[in-house]
A = this chain, B = another copy of it.
Amino acid sequence: MSLKESNIDNYIPKIPKIIDCRIEKTLNVIGGKWSFYVIRELFDGIKRFGELQRQINGVSPKALTDTLRHLEVQGVLEREAFATVPVTVQYKLTPKGEDLHQILIEMKLWAAKWA
């Protein structure tokens, strides 16, 4: 899929000059708790809807659909549909989404120490 111009912000990060207190911005982009699990699964590479549903324990199809749509709108992931029968839909992280990796790594480190 070619890179649409409107998506360029999901590929090229800003150079931060001032680190302010805007964890709000990150939390709004991520959305709810399912997003963390979707993002974690997609660090492994491109996945289809069914794969994500199997790998994320307890997520309903509706919650997964809503989460994927939210993350797509936020530019964290991209949805690709192929005209197979039945249609194949797969999801992959944008660079903006890939860059959430360090947050999840810190969550794992914390769990290893305290949970």
Chain A positions near chain B (C-beta within 8 angstroms): 9, 13-16, 18-29, 32-33, 36-37, 40, 96, 99-100, 102-104, 106-115
Which residue from B16, B18, B108, B114 sits with its C-beta under 8 Å from A19?
B108
Contact A115 B13 (CB under 8 A): no
Count this chain's copies in the assembly: 2
A34, chain B: closest CB distance, angstroms:
10
For the residues of A in contact with B, the DSSP-based class is helix
Give the complex CA separation of A43 and B23 in angstroms: 13
A100, chain B: closest CB distance, angstroms:
6
A22 proximity list for chain B (CB < 8 A)? 108, 111-112, 115
The list of the 10 closest CB pairs from A to B, nearest first, reads A16-B112, A25-B115, A13-B113, A25-B111, A26-B107, A22-B111, A23-B107, A103-B106, A26-B111, A102-B106
